[in-house]
Structure 1
């Protein structure tokens, strides 16, 4: 982290510390509307309730899918800013680590890499998440070795600033794939490599079982995986200036669920449940954070509870990729069930 970022970070942390909503709001929100899998005991446990994701065990739920199934046809849970489970309260987007997410049934990852000193560190914005790309590769490879029926889609993108490098981002990725002794053998076994005649399409499940697929959103001369922008139809309205505008965010989420259910099976539908205040210090001070948007606050139902209710009420139909902050057990199980109904 550069010296110039430190005063701004202190300002944000100071604003958060002075937030009256987060300091004074009861952790057991008896006045909250709607029902959610985040019960009163969860709220008392910390992190405003952890949603029980660690109680779910769906490590090989994809084994019953046909090899001819394509990820664009499926209902999948993804985690937004996957590695931000050890972040500050301002930056946290997950309650549980990567291994727990995968074991629970999460199959889409959002991995944000900072190119720093010819290596990839993992960031959420300016915040280093005490993890590097090697950690991600090891965890995903360990999971796929134990569960060869599964596949993982890994959205990779650049994060924060690139500093103190002697080579390009792509050259560093190639180093991880071909040279780094900590990752090259794991990636040779578990990273899907596009064939010589690759046309850019997202491969069918039978081709990628036991492997993870890089969904590329960075510029490169080489071919590492599908350029997901070519196939996507996404809802990613991630700025929420006030918690009082939760209804607006939810309407966009709900509309995209309906669009997905009726859309082409060749389109990769992505529905972002996540949102934050961005860099608005006033919004941060009033409690607009990934956690409060996902889980709600007294009197304002969060996006997770609304999504759980929607999935219960509608019952069937493809959801596409559901990218979530702090996914709950009910959310994951409900989305997985859509593949078999």
Structure 2
């Protein structure tokens, strides 16, 4: 049997099968994968590095799962069993996902960053037709989500989260409070969130006005938003939400605003944002 270990940390890791004190050692080079033999009788694997030893029981599951580590560890470990004779481990450095942008220079343009996002961020209801997420917006933000896909419809004069024709119930006002709390917290004020807003109904005159009015009335108001139609540097938008509007017309103060948006363009499409070429995939 073989075990492939992908060491995605910056440290050389020493591992050993069997007991903590006995057995053959293997040195795992940083940022590389190595495949080593192991016996089915070896039910544990010891990692020794950064003064930490971890006992890892080899589970028989056929899916990726995160390994529960005891105490403080500088790593996150995932495991999988690709086949009866081939196990895989991936060792990653631990990072605080709630504030991972804190270590990135202010001078970095957002276009140079890979920002995790969720499709239909507020589609929490309506399984199996309209539900796309099962974690709250606050949980998503603390998990590292930095691009949100907010879709709204006008219901009784207010903006409510919708997925197509299906209500998702969360008022836009509540979404704004969650964004404000996250972006103004002392522990996460280093972050920014790109907020894509898409209209799910047809009142194109009232919708932009309601978006504006509800933002003005929310905690932080317009001052918490980046509303220019250009790609900012990270330092400009720490502690702010970046408007990415899929509503309204060109020339409005709706933040980053693609002039075109072909429906379900599987091959993607190009557009310019103040001299920056942007390629978008909507599929």
TM over 0.5: yes
Q: Structure 1: give runs of 5+ residues left out of the alignment.
A: 1-29, 40-54, 195-199, 238-251, 257-264, 276-341
Q: Which residue of 2 aligns with 1:151?
A: 192
Mapped to 1, the partners of 2:112 and 2:123 lie a distance apart of 28
Taking structure 2 as the reference length, the TM-score comes to 0.58
Match of residue 173, structure 1, among 211, 216, 240: 211
Q: Structure 2: give runs of 5+ residues left out of the alignment.
A: 1-59, 67-77, 79-93, 269-274
User: For the Cα contact (< 8 Å) 1:234–1:271, is it kept in 2?
Assistant: no
Q: Which residue of 2 aligns with 1:225?
A: 255
Specify which structure has the higher proportion of helix.
Answer: 1
Deviations 1:238-290 (A, max 9, x none): xxxxxxxxxxxxxx7xxx8xxxxxxxx94444455xx6xxxxxxxxxxxxxxx
Deviations 1:144-199 (A, max 9, x none): 1121111100111101454xx9x621221222133x3xx1x4224422243xxxxx
Match of residue 205, structure 1, among 234, 237, 248: 234
Aligned residues: 191
User: For the Cα contact (< 8 Å) 2:227–2:243, is it kept in 1?
Assistant: no
User: For the Cα contact (< 8 Å) 1:156–1:218, is it kept in 2?
Assistant: yes
The secondary structure found in structure 2 opposite 1:60 is helix
Q: Which residue of 1 aligns with 2:128?
A: 89
Q: Please state how far the C-alpha of 1:69 moved relative to its aligned partner.
A: 1.0
1:118 paired to 2:148: no
Q: Which residue of 2 aligns with 1:21?
A: none
Mapped to 2, the partners of 1:119 and 1:134 lie a distance apart of 9
User: For the Cα contact (< 8 Å) 1:233–1:267, is it kept in 2?
Assistant: no
Mapped to 2, the partners of 1:113 and 1:36 lie a distance apart of 34
User: For the Cα contact (< 8 Å) 1:123–1:160, is it kept in 2?
Assistant: no
Specify which structure has the higher proportion of strand.
Answer: 2
Matches within 5 A, 1:244-283: 266-271=276-281
CA RMSD of aligned residues (A): 3.6
User: For the Cα contact (< 8 Å) 1:72–1:269, is it kept in 2?
Assistant: no
Between 1 and 2, higher relative CO (CA 8 Å, sep ≥ 6) is seen in 1
Mapped to 1, the partners of 2:262 and 2:169 lie a distance apart of 32
Mapped to 2, the partners of 1:211 and 1:136 lie a distance apart of 14
Taking structure 1 as the reference length, the TM-score comes to 0.49
Mapped to 2, the partners of 1:88 and 1:161 lie a distance apart of 25
